[in-house]
């Protein structure tokens, strides 16, 4: 029965997938003169994009790690809506960073660990699923943020060697640096020990995470980075996995996680304002993606979805078990008939369609408070 459902879903999306694959092929391989569709198109220079983070942004780096399938998604049905094969993205299709690349008229940005890839002129993706700001978050299984920074430094050195100091400096200073990380630092200890936040001071713990994140931001700045985009995470306390942990499976959100993530976002916002005052030329975009997605989850029908609590793929209450694909210890799982009805694809990650809505919000959002020093991503790519 499971196989028939998967085959049926695959067939209904085959035509759309073929169109997207062809479109992606054309976009991904364009150079200054592109001959897709047989017509040369002269492209203006675009700002590169360097991506840091966790599973919200990882487009395949964990495929090349000696890690567990718990932190990988390079198997069916991941990728089935857009790519029609599993790429290593924790989604049925594209991630937020993929949509941003499209809006910025860039090719899909490849993962840093992809074998043989050395052309960094459009940027590269360092993100690692389940990674945290802290090295203590899933150590030995993921690429923590400090290590991602060390990979970026290798790329910076390569660019200077290939392009020369002046051209490399221009590329790095005009590039946009997308960062989405921190959720796993708060999520992991709670899953392992639900009493964690009763024994730890949330303020001190958030301060440690933000402090390490700030050091990485400054590390990128020292190497030339000036324009930053920060996605302040998703409401992890309300993802299907966390709803399933509530006694009696009542489906309510986990308040402890929600509180600490809101504190993280509040402290980060203050730190970014401070950095803008300290670092010459520092620009950033940091809309409240958290609240926007939280609104979609709570009122899915207002955004074109039918389901905001239950995952499309998984097992157990709310399909909250991370069993999608049947390769994480639990072989049996359910797959929804129409993924476009769902906000979440698996127990903790948004669908392609939800990622697209968040990306459009981040790209175009405006704020009525003109004193707020950050901008939307469209403006960030254009300045």
- Which one, of 72, 78, 208, 223, lies nearest residue 149 by Cα? 223
**Axis-axis angle for helices 2-12, 14-28 (nearest 10):** 60
**C-alpha distances out from residue 360 to 101, 304, 353, 355, Å:** 12, 15, 11, 9
β-bridge mates for residue 130, sequence order:
none
Kindly name the residue from 20, 138, 264, 349 that is annotated as catalytic: 349
Q: Which residues of 76-110 are buried (b: 16+ CB within 10 A; e: fewer)?
A: bbbbbbbbbebbbbbbbbbbbbbbbbbebebbbbb
- Supply the DSSP symbol for 177: E
Are the CB atoms for 78 and 89 separated by under 8 Å? yes
Output phi, psi for 342, to 5 deg. Answer: -110, 145
Separation of first and last alpha carbons in the chain: 53
Output phi, psi for 324, to 5 deg. Answer: -55, 125
Kindly name the residue from 17, 55, 81, 323 that is annotated as catalytic: 55
Largest CA distance in the chain: 64
Instruction: Look up 144 and say whether it is catalytic.
Output: no
- Which one, of 194, 192, 196, lies nearest residue 247 by Cα? 194
Distance separating alpha carbons of residues 11 and 286, to the nearest angstrom: 39
Instruction: Look up 369 and say whether it is catalytic.
Output: no
Instruction: Look up 346 and say whether it is catalytic.
Output: yes
Kindly name the residue from 58, 294, 346, 352 that is annotated as catalytic: 346
Report the catalytic residues.
Answer: 55, 346, 349
């Amino acid at each position: 029965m499971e196989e028939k459902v998967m085959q049926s879903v695959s067939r209904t999306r085959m035509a759309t997938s073929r169109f997207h694959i062809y479109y992606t092929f054309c976009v991904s391989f364009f150079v200054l003169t592109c001959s897709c569709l047989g017509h040369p198109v002269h492209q203006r220079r675009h700002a590169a994009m360097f991506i840091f983070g966790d599973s919200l942004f990882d487009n395949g780096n964990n495929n090349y790690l000696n890690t567990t399938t718990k932190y990988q998604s390079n198997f069916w049905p991941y990728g089935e809506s857009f790519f029609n094969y599993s790429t290593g993205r924790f989604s049925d299709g594209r991630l937020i960073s993929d949509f941003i690349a499209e809006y910025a008229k860039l090719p899909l940005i490849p993962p840093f660990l992809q074998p043989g890839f050395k052309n960094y002129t459009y940027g590269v993706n360092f993100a690692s699923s389940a990674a945290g700001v802290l090295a203590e978050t899933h150590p030995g299984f993921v690429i923590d943020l400090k290590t991602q920074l060390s990979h970026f430094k290798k790329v910076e050195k390569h660019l200077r060697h290939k392009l020369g100091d002046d051209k490399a400096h221009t590329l790095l200073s005009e590039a946009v640096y997308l960062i989405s990380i921190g959720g796993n630092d708060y999520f992991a200890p709670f899953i392992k020990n639900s009493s964690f936040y009763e024994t730890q001071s949330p303020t001190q713990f958030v301060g440690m995470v933000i402090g390490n994140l700030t050091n990485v931001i400054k590390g990128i700045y020292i190497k030339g980075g000036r324009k930053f985009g920060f996605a302040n995470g998703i409401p992890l306390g309300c993802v299907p996995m966390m709803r399933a942990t509530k006694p009696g499976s009542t489906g309510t959100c986990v308040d402890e996680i929600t509180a600490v993530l809101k504190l993280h976002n509040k402290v980060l916002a203050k730190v970014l304002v401070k950095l803008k005052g300290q670092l010459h030329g520092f620009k950033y975009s940091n809309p409240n993606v958290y609240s926007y997605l939280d609104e979609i989850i709570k009122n899915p029908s207002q955004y074109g979805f039918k389901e905001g609590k239950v995952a499309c793929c998984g097992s157990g209450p709310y399909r909250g078990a991370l069993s999608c694909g049947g390769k994480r210890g639990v072989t049996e799982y359910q797959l929804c008939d129409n993924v476009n009805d769902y906000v979440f694809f698996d127990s903790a990650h948004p669908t392609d369609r939800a990622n697209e809505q968040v990306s459009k919000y981040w790209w175009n959002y405006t704020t009525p408070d003109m004193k707020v020093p950050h901008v939307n991503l469209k403006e960030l790519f254009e300045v």
